[in-house]
């Protein structure tokens, strides 16, 4: 008889006014236990991070599903949460014999035996682990978003309706990662992030759109518009799998393709970015770093910006 393979499923981010909802599915190794698993909300941020590292090292399988704010607005938060959970289970890479879900509901359209467990994130180790992975994944994304949209304080409140967040919404309106279907966001105008038909905004908005693209593709953002005194600046700095990536963003409109935009990253510009990279690494006291130099183009010619990412676009000499 085959042993039962349990996947615990939980989510993070149903209640915030901004950012994605993130779900995780985790299959633990019964022969490699993890001490201290419990509901992620009852753990300190430091403890969650430590446990997340241990879970990733010891779990048999981990899946993550992310549904972003635009899709939350198109449906509703409950349906978006179910979709994130379905994606998390699919991301496991193997089919469990049973899915145990935190809360009152099982996952619609999931053709696997399921059990809903109220308070499961504090009762079932697999659900606790999923809760921790979902929470730390989402928190990391919101900390990166804070670099792009520093006025809103996402690093501290992670998109929830704190007093500072509500005050900023009233004063500055919404930003691109706010959930427009949520109150009071639905009554807040987009005051500072308009770009359609406004070429003078393409440069700044292109950087923000490129940064959002990177975050949604698993990168951790380290800096935006990093200035190296008179040495110039680099648009975005990010990290992925221990590489530090320096990204030049080129925004344009009215061209058939991005050839001209790419040509604007001249050899002289490449050398300048390389010098800035050296200053950044020295200032941050980072030694023997694996570095990469990327270009992202953002084309504003159509109804929606078209993003092209060129990893390892050049090797500065």
Q: Is the CATH number 3.40.50.1860 carried by domain 201-317?
A: no
Q: Tens of pLDDT along the chain (317 residues)?
A: 567 899 999 999 999 999 999 999 999 999 998 988 888 888 899 999 999 999 999 999 999 999 999 999 999 999 999 999 999 999 999 999 999 999 999 999 999 999 999 999 889 999 999 999 999 999 999 999 999 999 999 999 999 999 999 999 999 999 999 999 999 998 999 888 888 777 788 899 999 999 999 999 999 999 999 988 777 899 999 999 889 999 999 999 988 788 998 999 999 999 999 999 999 998 888 888 899 999 999 999 888 899 999 999 998 76
> 300: which residues sit within 8 A by CB, 6+ positions away?
195, 199, 202, 205, 206, 251, 252, 253
Which CATH architecture describes the domain 6-146? 2-Layer Sandwich (3.30)
Kindly report the pTM of this predicted structure: 0.93
| Cis omega (within 30 of 0) for bond into 247 | no
Sequence ranges of the chain with CATH classification 3.40.1350.10? 201-317
Sequence ranges of the chain with CATH classification 3.30.420.10? 6-146
């Amino acid at each position: 008889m085959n042993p039962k393979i349990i996947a615990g499923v939980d989510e993070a981010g149903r209640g915030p006014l901004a950012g994605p909802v993130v779900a995780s599915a985790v299959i633990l190794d019964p022969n490699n236990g993890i001490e201290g698993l419990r509901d992620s909300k009852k753990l300190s941020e430091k403890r969650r991070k430590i446990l997340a590292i241990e879970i990733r090292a010891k779990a048999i399988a981990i899946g993550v599903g992310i549904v972003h704010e635009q899709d939350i607005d198109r449906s509703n938060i409950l349906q978006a949460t179910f979709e994130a959970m379905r994606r998390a289970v699919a991301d496991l890479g193997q089919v469990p014999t049973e899915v145990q879900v935190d809360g009152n509901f099982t996952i619609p359209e999931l053709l696997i035996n399921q059990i809903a467990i109220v308070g499961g994130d504090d009762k079932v180790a697999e659900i606790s682990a999923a809760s921790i992975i979902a929470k730390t994944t989402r928190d990391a994304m919101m900390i990166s978003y804070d670099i792009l949209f520093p006025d809103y304080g996402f690093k501290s409140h992670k998109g929830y309706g704190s007093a500072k967040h509500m005050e900023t919404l009233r004063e500055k309106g919404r930003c691109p990662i706010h959930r427009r279907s949520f109150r009071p966001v639905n009554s807040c105008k987009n005051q500072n992030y308009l770009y359609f038909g406004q070429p003078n905004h393409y440069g700044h908005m292109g950087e923000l759109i490129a940064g959002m693209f990177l975050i949604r593709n698993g990168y951790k953002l380290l800096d935006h518009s990093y200035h190296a005194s008179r040495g110039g600046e680099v648009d975005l700095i990010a990290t992925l799998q221990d590489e530090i990536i320096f990204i030049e963003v080129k925004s344009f409109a009215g061209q058939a393709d991005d050839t001209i935009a790419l040509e604007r990253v001249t050899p002289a510009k490449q050398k300048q970015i390389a010098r800035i990279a050296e200053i950044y690494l020295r200032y941050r006291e980072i030694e023997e770093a694996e570095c990469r130099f990327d270009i992202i183009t953002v084309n504003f010619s159509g109804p929606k910006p078209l993003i092209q990412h060129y990893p390892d676009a050049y090797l500065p000499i």
